[in-house]
A = this chain, B = another copy of it.
Amino acid sequence: MTEAAARSPAPRLHEQLDTLNELLRRLRGLEQLPAPDDSQAFRDTEAELQQLLDGLHPADIAYLLESLPLQHRLAIWQRVKADRDGEILLEVSDAVRESLIADMDQGEILAAVEPLDADELADLVDDLPTEVLPELMASLDAQQRERVQAALSYPDDQVGALMDFEMVTIREDISLETVLRYLRRFDELPEQTDKLFVVNQDNLLTGVLPLHWLLVNSPEKMVSDVMAPDVNTFHPIDDAYETAQAFERYDLVTAPVVDSTGHLIGRITIDSMVDVLREESESEALSRGGLREEEDIFASAWKSVRNRWAWLAINLVTAFIASRVIGLFEGSIQHLVALATLMPIVAGIGGNSGNQTITMIVRALALDQISPANARRLWRKEIGVALLNGLIWGGVIGVVAWLLYDNPQLGVVMTAAMSLNLVLAAFCGVAIPMLMTRMGRDPALGSSVLITAMTDSGGFFIFLGLATLFLM
């Protein structure tokens, strides 16, 4: 990215979205004319739109495309200069990318991806129509092809899929002066370069030379005197999220990637790590509620139904189970209809409290703060919280139930049921994410649906069960 292109900071983008919507609306009106091309107003609007687009950074265009409904999105996409298509495709979300690629023919796709680097190409390949792949691979030189294939051989959540291959390597037995002269032979350095990688003749990584140290040290010094021998190096099979956490922890900008024998094979940059951190937190938010994947907010209703149906179906099953639990006690309800009125309070408070616990635990697990040694301690604490809340809020609601139905026993049952259901919520709030983790699953996945299922069925059973035992 050049500095000049990045003129418009985020706050102003919202206004540009409004302008864009306005221009598109005007164009649509003018297209109704018998011969729109003859209209000066039409040509002016077209020119204004084109100028707006040409002035925007690819990342900004990506944002605007995300924020437009499909018809407008494609109108803009057709007007974007072809040489920027590839960069924009990289920036948009998967769902939007799909809608853009569906609108391109084979020639356009090949032209769009032509300026991309191997690692970027590898990101896109999965989303391209299979027909273009043979021609695309044939258009690459041997080294490029090998790199694309290497990147494709790693799953998306490993460093190997995210590394790039643009790096400056130097030898350790040269002077900084020589390094400075060598760098001047470049037209530009790879983006984000903050250090040079020092390798020996076998391409074994022996250290790194931060640009800072190159600049503050005397040019007569040798690379070997100045370089840092110990570095944060990563392996292509390292977990991407853990690597991103290391970038965050150690304030890294770039880091070398080496194979199992220590040979330098690529590098990782902060911008792809920021994307990993962002995606992780997004997918956590989505999966908590049981959304399968990122959803294009302007996708058709039918597409959204398919994205959301799985957890709704699970929820239907759990709700049906809860309903059958109530069914067991229909006799008691017939006898004392107040039970039907009060039971959702027990279930609801349990669900809310369980969700609070599970949110805390999922976060602590994501930050790797929970070890088997302190799991028991967490249980003790959460159950303590639950008992306190049960006595306080259960007590309040128990008194209310007593006054409302003039039935002190009902109040006592209510308080007892709330306390017990809160304890159940606390227990499951810790247990569910820990179990999911032990089973190698994402602990956030549908956590909200699962905990609510437990506290609903559990709450109904506890409350109606106690009531049947003590009030009938």
The residues of B that contact A183 with a CB separation of less than 8 Å are 215-216
Q: Are A384 and B6 in contact (CB under 8 A)?
A: no
Asked if A290 meets B352 with Cβ closer than 8 Å, knowing A6-B250, A344-B323, A388-B305, the reply is yes
CA of A343 to CA of B187, assembled, Å: 70
Which residues from chain B contact A184 at a C-beta distance below 8 Å? Answer: 215-218
Residues 151-191 (chain A) with a chain B CB within 8 angstroms: 180, 183-184, 186-189, 191
Number of this chain's copies in the assembly equals 2
Separation of A274 and B330 alpha carbons in the complex (Å): 55
Nearest residue in B to A373 (C-beta to C-beta)? B21
Please name the residue on chain B nearest to A369 by beta carbon: B67
> Interface SS of chain A: helix, strand, loop or mixed?
helix
- Whether B234 pairs with A363 at a CB distance below 8 angstroms is no
Partner among B180, B305, B360 whose Cβ is within 8 Å of the Cβ of A215: B180
Cα distance A313–B389 in the bound complex, in angstroms: 10
A7 interface neighbour in B7, B230, B361, Cβ under 8 Å: B230
Given A21-B371, A305-B389, A355-B448: A381 and B341 interface contact (C-beta under 8 Å): no
On chain B, the residues within 8 Å of A76 by CB distance are none
Q: How many residues of A contact B (CB 8 A)?
A: 151
Residue A208 interfacial (CB < 8 Å):
yes
- Asked if A259 is at the interface of the complex by the 8 Å CB criterion, the answer is no
**Are A340 and B349 within 8 A (Cβ)?**
no
Kindly identify which residue among B230, B295, B302, B308 contacts A4, using a CB–CB cutoff of 8 Å.
Answer: B230
The residues of B that contact A18 with a CB separation of less than 8 Å are 371, 373
Of the candidates A17, A68, A274, A340, the one having the most CB atoms from chain B within 10 angstroms of its own CB is A340
**Whole-angstrom distance between the Cβ of A340 and the nearest chain B Cβ:** 4
Q: In the assembled complex, how far is the CB of residue A444 from the closest CB belonging to chain B, in whole angstroms?
A: 9
A232 interfacial contact with B, CB 8 Å: yes
- Minimum CB–CB distance for A396 against chain B, Å: 7
Flag if A456 contacts B348 (CB, 8 Å).
yes
Q: Does A60 contact B (CB under 8 A)?
A: yes
Evaluate whether A66 and B337 lie within 8 angstroms (CB atoms) in the complex, with A6-B232, A211-B215, A348-B456 already known.
no
Interchain residue pairs with CB less than 8 A apart (11): A21-B374, A60-B249, A189-B215, A286-B359, A289-B352, A295-B360, A297-B360, A297-B370, A301-B384, A319-B344, A330-B341
